[in-house]
């Protein structure tokens, strides 16, 4: 099954057309995505640069009932973050989180791991994993899928990655969903010249 709404976009077009798609812009119908397509996107992420080629990115892929497992962990972390202990309130957080994860067929958590022996600071591993995250977002857009980089308090909570099964020492970089889009949002940027220091002589 192909989910492409067009042949894969070229890099420059995908960069310009990528958007953080709010849940309200997603299609009501969200067919499952083929594993082969998810692997294609993970491969794109895996070709990110890393200092010394340490390849520090780690991916957790949650599909089918795995999305409910992700939701339960996020809800438990959120409850801890907010100091919520009342059982009914915890159940409500869980139900809301389950609804969110059900909006898209695929969720991917991106993390960074510092290799046991490295001469590079761990922030460089985080940057490399962030580059992998961007590759994923661009590859998704290229194949016609919507996504959004999410760094919610629940995801960033220290209990989340271990509870999801990530190896010890991993740091969260973000999570994203992959979904069909009903209507792509407009992008907005200031003139690039405002951000540029250009030295000619």
Ligand X SMILES: Cc1cc2nc3c(=O)[nH]c(=O)nc-3n(C[C@H](O)[C@H](O)[C@H](O)COP(=O)(O)O)c2cc1C
Binding residues for ligand X (CB under 6 A): 19-20, 148-152, 174, 187
Task: Tell whether the torsion through CA atoms of 17, 21, 27 and 32 is positive or negative.
Answer: positive
- Residue 123 Cβ, how far from ligand X at the closest point, in Å? 14
Closest CB to ligand X among 22 and 49?
22
CB of 30 to ligand X, least distance (A): 18
Question: In 33-86, which residue ranges form alpha helices assigned H by DSSP?
Answer: 35-46, 66-82
In the complex, what is the shortest distance from the CB of residue 125 to ligand X, in angstroms, rounded to a whole number? 15
Residue with Cβ nearer ligand X (67 or 148): 148
Cβ closest to ligand X, residue 106 vs residue 173: 173
Q: Report the alpha-carbon distance of residue 44 to residue 33 in Å, rounded.
A: 17
Residues 113-130: b if buried by 16+ CB within 10 A, e if exposed: bbeeeeeeeeebbbbbbb
156: nearest Cα among 141, 174, 136: 174
Q: Whole-angstrom Cα distance, residue 110 to residue 84?
A: 26
Chain residue whose CB lies nearest ligand X: 20
Residue number, 141 or 143, with CB nearest to ligand X:
141
Tell the smallest beta-carbon distance from residue 201 to ligand X (Å).
34
């Amino acid at each position: 099954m192909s989910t492409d709404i067009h042949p894969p976009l070229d890099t420059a077009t995908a960069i310009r057309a990528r958007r953080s798609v709010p849940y309200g812009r997603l299609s009501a119908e969200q067919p499952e995505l083929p594993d082969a397509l998810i692997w294609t996107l993970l491969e794109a992420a895996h070709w990110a640069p890393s200092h010394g080629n340490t390849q520090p990115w780690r991916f957790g892929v949650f599909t089918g009932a795995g999305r409910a497992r992700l939701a339960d962990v996020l809800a438990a972390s959120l409850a801890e973050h907010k100091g919520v202990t009342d059982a009914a309130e915890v159940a409500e957080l869980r139900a809301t989180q389950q609804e969110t994860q059900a909006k898209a067929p695929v969720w991917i958590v991106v993390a960074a791991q510092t290799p046991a022996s490295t001469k590079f600071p761990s922030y460089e591993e985080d940057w490399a994993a962030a580059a992998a995250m961007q590759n994923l977002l661009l590859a998704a857009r290229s194949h016609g899928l919507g996504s959004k980089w999410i760094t919610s308090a629940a995801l960033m909570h220290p209990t989340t990655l271990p509870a999801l099964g990530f190896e010890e020492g991993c740091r969260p970089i973000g999570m994203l969903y992959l979904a069909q889009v009903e209507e792509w949002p407009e992008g907005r940027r200031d003139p690039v010249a405002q951000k540029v220091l250009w030295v000619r002589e």
